[in-house]
Amino acid sequence: MNSTKLQLKSKFLEEVSPKSHFEVIFDHLPGVSFFAKNRNFEIVSANKAFWERLDCESESEVIGKTDYDLFPEQLASKFREDDETVLRTGSPKLKIIELFFNRQGLPDWYFTNKFPVFGRDGSVIGVSGTVQSYTGRRSALTPHMQLDHAVSYIRDHFSEPVNMTNLAKRTGMSVRQFNRRFREVFGTNPRTFLIKTRVQAACEDLRSSDKPISEIALEYGFCDQSSFTQHFRTHMGVTPLRYRRSS
């Protein structure tokens, strides 16, 4: 962007009233949640979709709260880790895939983008971001809707053996083309996406049941407990046993 255009943009932003709330735009984008946090990771702004998703009746119910007040500890810790990275580096984190399981035990994927908020002195004073469900994002993925066949299959069969070649065939693409387009949309390859889904499902079981870890490993598609522990530590930062004890 040339200097003239930068000056035009800067002049406009300087004239914006503090009472002008750009975040209200997000109330008119279906399926998009917006939030902003200060340096202390306290929520200072959120749109209707964000607080309604938390069963709140108004924005005031989430203002001043942190993720630890609103989400399970393990999820909150992951959110905090991403926030700290954005605050420390001053760079955005994009296409973060987060999984939540609905009441039917099926995974719902959410895409999160986080951006640094800069103060007038140039320092990072907070984090803002958007969260959008895969379902809500489908309309924005029209050029890649072939992938929906693969994503739907993973959603329904993640605990079963999934062959990547057969998964690519469901989209009508070659394995190479499938991998490339999947990464473009989801920011990761389909195999990692599948493993993250299995790990998140296992988290639910580790918290809510007394099943042996070896049984959970096999139930969610891992070849043995060793493989499960390796992948679990990669994505969660702790072993399944430690995760269970801390839940």
Domain range list for the chain: 21-137, 146-246
Cβ–Cβ < 8 Å for 175, 168: yes
pLDDT tens digits, 1-18: 677 877 887 787 777 777
* Contact of 154 with 192, CB cutoff 8 Å: no
Is the pLDDT score of 80 beyond 90? Answer: yes
CATH code of the region 146-246:
1.10.10.60
Per-residue pLDDT at 102 exceeds 80: no
* pLDDT at residue 59 tops 80: yes
The 3-state DSSP class for residue 75 equals helix
Buried b (16+ CB within 10 A) or exposed e, 35-61: bbbeeebbbbbbbbbbbeeeebeeeee
Q: For residue 105, name the pLDDT band (cuts at 50, 70, 90).
A: low
Select the more confidently predicted residue: 222 or 146.
222
Mean pLDDT of the chain: 86
pLDDT at 192: 92
pLDDT of 139 > 60? The answer is no
Phi, psi of 160 (to 5 degrees): -105, 165
User: Which DSSP symbol is given to 30?
Assistant: T
The pLDDT value recorded for residue 140 is: 54
pLDDT, position 207: 85
Banded pLDDT at 93 (limits 50, 70, 90): very high
| pLDDT tier for residue 178 given thresholds of 50, 70 and 90 | very high
Taking only the tens place, the pLDDT of each residue in 140-161 is 554 566 788 898 899 889 999 9
Q: Which residues lie below 8 Å from residue 175, measured CB to CB, with a gap of 6+?
A: 164, 165, 168
Between 11 and 176, residue with greater pLDDT? 176
- Nearest CA among 21, 53, 12, 49 for reference residue 34: 49
Mean per-residue pLDDT, 125-133: 91
Whether CATH 3.40.30.10 fits 21-137: no
Distance, CA of 150 to CA of 152 (rounded, Å): 5
Q: Is the pLDDT of residue 208 over 70?
A: yes
Give the residue among 199, 204, 105, 203 at the shortest CA–CA distance from 156.
Answer: 105
Average pLDDT over residues 67-89: 89
pTM for this prediction: 0.69
Percent of the chain with pLDDT over 90: 49
